[in-house]
Amino acid sequence: MNHTVTITINGVKHTREVEPRTLLASFIRDHVGLTGTNVGCDTSQCGACTVHVDGQAVKSCTVLAVQADGSSVTTIEGMAQGGKLHAVQQAFWDQHGLQCGYCTPGMIMSISYMLKQNPNASEEEIRHGLEGNICRCTGYQNIVKAALQAREALSN
């Protein structure tokens, strides 16, 4: 039996009929067609799929679309505002925080949430905060630098 699910994504309401087992990641990617949210694993380890659900960072491969019914979701596509990159996006660009770019949307969503929770996060805290996000390309160094740049930018 399909369920009717309504989720507001980046400010736009989307209503779809979905199977109850449909993952939020699949709702966003396949049903709504916003493909910036990537899927890198099956087991909730890699964080490529991270989005914000009602302001909380969530791995969208681990949540069912029906659980997110009625919620408000921000994906990577919703981060830049008025043609201006979000401070974390800008920092990733400035610091060469990405190579292949596959982990990047999830990284940006995790770090922007982390810095909201802890605006003074230290390098150590940032590294630990990224425990749930895997990058195979960068060795993390420039991701950490990007987070530090964004921390400064956001505190000003």
Partner 1 sequence: MSKLVGQSIKRKEDPRFVQGKGSYVANLNIAGMAHLALKRSPHAHAKIVSIDTSKAAALPGVIAVFTGQDLIDGGCGKLPCGWNVPNIKVPTRWAIQPVGDKVRHVGDTIAAVVAESRYIAQDALDLIEVEYEVLPASLGAKATVTSGIVIHDDLPDNTSYPWAIGDLPAAEAGLSAADHVVELKDLINTRLIANAMEPRAAAAQWSEMTEEMTLWTTSQNPHPIRLLLSAFTLGIPEHKLRVISPDVGGGFGSKIFHYPEEIITPWIARKLNRPVKWVATRSEASMTDSQGRDHVSTIKVGVKNDGTITAIHISTHADQGAYLSTFAPLIPTALYLTLMTGLYKVPGVYGEVWGTITNTTPVDAYRGAGRPEACYALERAIDVAARKINMDPIALRRKNFIPANEFPYQTPVALQYDSGDYHKLFDKLEEISDYNGLVAKRDAARAAGKLAGIGVVGAIEASGPAPSKVAGALGGAVGFWESAVMRVHPSGKVSLMTGSHSHGQGHETAFAQVVADELGIGVNDVDIVHGDTAKIPFGMGSYGSRSLNVGGSAIVKAGEKVRNKMLKIAAHQLEASESDLVYDRENGRVYVKGAPSKSKAFGELAFAAYTAHNLPDGLEPGMEEQSFYDPANFTFPNSAHIAYVEVDKDTGEVNLQKYYAVDDVGNVVNPMIVEGQIVGGIVQGIGQALYEHGAYDADGQPQTLTFMDYAMPKAQFFPRFEVARTVTPSPHNPLGVKGAGEMGTIAATPAVANAVMDAIAPLGVEHIELPLTPQRIWKAINKI
Kindly list the residues in this chain that would bind partner 1 in the complex (CB under 8 A).
Answer: 19, 21-22, 29-30, 33-43, 45-46, 48, 75-77, 79-80, 85, 89-90, 92-94, 96, 98-105, 108, 123, 126-128, 130-131, 133-144
Residue 70 or residue 141: which is nearer to partner 1 going by CB? 141
CA atoms within 13 A on the CB side of 115: 22
Asked if residue 106 lies in contact with residue 46, where contact means CB atoms within 8 angstroms, the answer is yes
Task: In whole angstroms, give the CA distance from residue 95 to residue 143.
Answer: 8
Cα-based distances in Å from 112 to 6, 27, 94: 25, 22, 16
Residues 116-155, mask of contacts with ligand FES (x by CB under 6 A): -------------------xxxx-----------------
Residues 54-93, mask of contacts with ligand FES (x by CB under 6 A): -----x-x--------------------------------
Residues 3-42, mask of contacts with ligand FES (x by CB under 6 A): ------------------------------------xxx-
In the bound complex, what is the minimum distance in angstroms from residue 1's beta carbon to ligand FES? 26
Name which position in 2, 6, 44, 141 contacts ligand FES (CB under 6 A): 44
Asked if residue 108 lies in contact with residue 149, where contact means CB atoms within 8 angstroms, the answer is no
Residue 16 or residue 40: which is nearer to ligand FES going by CB? 40
**Residue of 85, 99, 90 lying closest to 140 (CA atoms):** 99
Asked if residue 63 lies in contact with residue 24, where contact means CB atoms within 8 angstroms, the answer is yes
Task: In whole angstroms, give the CA distance from residue 9 to residue 45.
Answer: 23
How many residues contact ligand FES, by CB under 6 A? 22
Q: Residue 17 is inside which H or E element, if any? A: strand 12-18
